[in-house]
């Protein structure tokens, strides 16, 4: 699912993703089929892209959903281990041909095994582009169903420009339709920032560089580092600016990495490698799926932690179809690089921030029908565990989340204040509508007039003031 969305968004294609899950008749064995309209996979990369672990397009510094090309292969490998069945792949980049193959993964040698004649070339008269992947696996759908449906719903919230459909084993169709054709700007590839470099990355950059001197190497391989800054850094690190980088010893490489983290004169990273949703699209997604009475979203300015740029987006929705949380719970929707985070919410930095804010200042009670949304985009999201289910309590990120939510809360307070004022006016009008005609009638009798005055025009003026 996430590979499909990345394949569409990075090429500016409005996503159409269709997922079908079917029971194979055997106990807890299912067949899953995922189809997208993305960029497709070139023929020469098909086998490795689906059959070689750690082969992927995620090694560049740019915001993407996954990391290092692990997720898709792990799903295929799980299906192979549990049912010993191959994965079927149909893909095309939009040319006159499309490609079909069945493959399995040689676990011992980490390489794909193509079956039944390898990759077959088929005609593509409609010039279709995209990928279809199908395989079987063991699972417990009845137990996982609530989380699966919640995953699709939350994905539809963060991606109001996507068409997503899901057919479950019972034949029920769940459809999430796009409400806009506007898409966020795709992220651009950038060079690594010195503050985020580790020893292995520096070794890899040195192996492939053509630079003859350290100053040339530093200024050509790192984000927002010019020659003057490179010279200043190398003096700080006590390194010869004109030394050949390929002649560096291991202890010198470690010294450079350590100095990079301590040197404070590097410019902060910019956010061109990020692709936030934006307040407008986030509000549209929330309105589409939850239909709240009120919603407000904000996007903070780009910031950075340890040389990794990030942007925090947040929203608050109130009333109407938003249900009040259970006692002691909070309606919190968390996202990282447009992926819903469904588990371990209480350990997440966003939950800790929400619990630390004094909401009474904003006329907000957490038992109200209110929902919070927090979205973090970064080239390296600081997950606390390898399961990538909750985000670590980094001070820089906590600060941005706090002020994003407080900005939303101030706008909600303004809305609630206006709502209270209108309710007070409405109560007064109801009382006056009940008693003023009677008062007018009694006053007419006392004055000896034939007709009571027309008081309805007063009500019209009051109603306009609501």
Give residue-wise pLDDT tens across range 57-90: 443 456 666 555 578 888 999 999 999 999 999 9
- Mean pLDDT confidence for 160-181: 96
Three-state secondary structure call for residue 105: strand
Question: Residue 58's pLDDT is what?
Answer: 42
Q: Which two tokens stand for residue 290?
A: 């939850």
Query: Is the sign of the CA dihedral 365, 367, 368, 373 positive or negative?
Result: positive
Taking CB atoms within 8 Å and a gap of at least 24, the contacts of 406-410 are 406/357, 406/362, 407/298, 407/314, 408/296, 408/297, 408/298, 408/314, 408/315, 408/316, 409/316, 409/357, 409/359, 409/362, 409/364, 410/362
Kindly tell me if the per-residue pLDDT of 270 is higher than 50: yes
Kindly tell me if the per-residue pLDDT of 456 is higher than 80: no
When mean pLDDT is compared across 2-6, 63-67, 215-219, 304-308, the lowest value belongs to 63-67
Task: Give how far Cα 53 sits from Cα of 47, 73, 77, 118, 205, Å.
Answer: 11, 6, 9, 19, 22
When mean pLDDT is compared across 131-140, 183-192, 217-226, the lowest value belongs to 183-192
Question: Residue 60's pLDDT is what?
Answer: 47
Question: Residue 445's pLDDT is what?
Answer: 84
Rg for the chain, CA atoms, rounded: 29
CA separation for the pair 217, 239 (Å, rounded): 13
- Strand partners of residue 375: 313, 335
**CB burial string 105-144: b at 16+ within 10 A, e below:** beeeeeebeeeeeebeeeebeeebbbbbbbbbbebeeeee
CA separation for the pair 166, 381 (Å, rounded): 28
The percent of residues in the chain predicted with pLDDT above 90, rounded, is 69
Question: Residue 208's pLDDT is what?
Answer: 87
- Total-model pTM: 0.85
CA separation for the pair 437, 425 (Å, rounded): 18
pLDDT tens string 338-351: 999 999 999 999 99
Residue 365 CA, chain-centre distance (Å), reads 27
Question: Residue 462's pLDDT is what?
Answer: 60
Question: Residue 62's pLDDT is what?
Answer: 61
Question: Residue 258's pLDDT is what?
Answer: 94
Task: Check if the beta carbon of residue 147 is closer than 8 Å to that of residue 36.
Answer: no
Kindly tell me if the per-residue pLDDT of 460 is higher than 70: no
CA separation for the pair 153, 165 (Å, rounded): 10
405: part of which helix (H) or strand (E)?
helix 395-447
Kindly tell me if the per-residue pLDDT of 459 is higher than 60: yes
Task: Check if the beta carbon of residue 213 is closer than 8 Å to that of residue 241.
Answer: yes
Three-state secondary structure call for residue 215: helix
- Mean pLDDT confidence for 397-423: 94
Question: Residue 439's pLDDT is what?
Answer: 84
> Confidence band (pLDDT; 50, 70, 90) for 466?
low
CA dihedral 113, 115, 117, 123 (to 10 degrees): -100
- Strand partners of residue 132: 35, 90
**Please, what is the end-to-end C-alpha distance for the chain in angstroms?**
47
User: Higher pLDDT residue, 134 or 190?
Assistant: 134
CA separation for the pair 119, 138 (Å, rounded): 27
- In the predicted model, what is the mean pLDDT of the chain? 90
């Amino acid at each position: 699912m996430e590979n499909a969305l990345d394949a569409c968004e990075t090429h500016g294609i409005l996503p159409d993703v269709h997922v079908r899950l079917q029971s194979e008749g055997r106990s807890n064995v299912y067949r899953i089929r995922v189809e997208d309209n993305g960029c497709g996979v070139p023929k020469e990369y098909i086998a490795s892209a689906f059959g070689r672990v750690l082969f992927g397009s995620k090694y560049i510094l740019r915001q993407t959903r996954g990391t290092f090309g692990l997720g898709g292969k792990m799903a295929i490998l799980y299906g192979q281990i549990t049912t010993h069945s191959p994965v079927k792949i149909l893909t095309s980049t939009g040319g006159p041909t499309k490609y079909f193959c069945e493959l399995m993964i040689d676990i011992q040698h980490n390489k794909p095994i193509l079956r039944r004649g390898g990759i077959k070339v088929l005609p593509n008269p409609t010039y279709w582009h995209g990928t279809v992947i199908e395989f079987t696996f063991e699972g417990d759908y009845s137990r996982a169903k609530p989380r699966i449906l919640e995953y699709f719903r939350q994905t539809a919230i963060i991606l109001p420009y996507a068409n997503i459909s899901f057919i479950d084993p019972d034949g029920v169709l769940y459809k999430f339709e796009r409400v806009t054709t506007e898409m966020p700007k795709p992220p651009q590839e950038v060079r690594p920032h010195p503050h985020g470099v580790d020893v292995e990355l520096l070794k890899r950059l040195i192996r492939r560089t053509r630079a003859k001197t350290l100053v040339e190497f530093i200024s050509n391989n790192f984000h927002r580092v010019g020659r003057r800054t490179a010279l200043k850094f190398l003096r700080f690190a006590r390194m010869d600016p004109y030394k050949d980088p390929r002649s560096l010893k291991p202890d010198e490489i470690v010294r450079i990495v350590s100095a990079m983290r301590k040197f404070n004169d590097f410019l902060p990273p910019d956010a061109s490698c990020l692709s936030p949703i934006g307040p407008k699209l986030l509000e549209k997604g929330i309105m589409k799926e939850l239909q709240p009475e009120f919603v407000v979203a904000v996007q903070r300015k780009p910031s950075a932690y340890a040389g990794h740029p990030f942007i925090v987006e947040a929203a608050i929705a109130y009333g109407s179809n938003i249900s009040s949380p259970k006692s002691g719970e909070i309606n919190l929707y968390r996202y990282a690089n447009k992926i819903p985070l469904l588990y371990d919410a209480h350990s997440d930095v966003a939950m800790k921030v929400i619990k630390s804010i004094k909401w009474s200042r904003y006329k907000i009670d957490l038992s109200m029908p209110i929902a919070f949304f927090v979205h973090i985009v970064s080239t390296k999201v600081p997950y606390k565990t390898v399961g990538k289910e909750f985000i670590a309590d980094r001070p820089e990120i906590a600060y941005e989340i706090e002020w994003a939510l407080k900005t939303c809360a101030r706008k909600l307070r303004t809305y609630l204040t206006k709502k209270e004022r209108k309710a007070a006016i409405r109560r007064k009008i109801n009382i006056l509508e009940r008693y003023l005609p009677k008062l007018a009638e009694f006053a007419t009798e006392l004055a000896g007039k034939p007709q009571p005055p027309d008081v309805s025009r007063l009500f019209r003026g009051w109603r306009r003031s609501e």
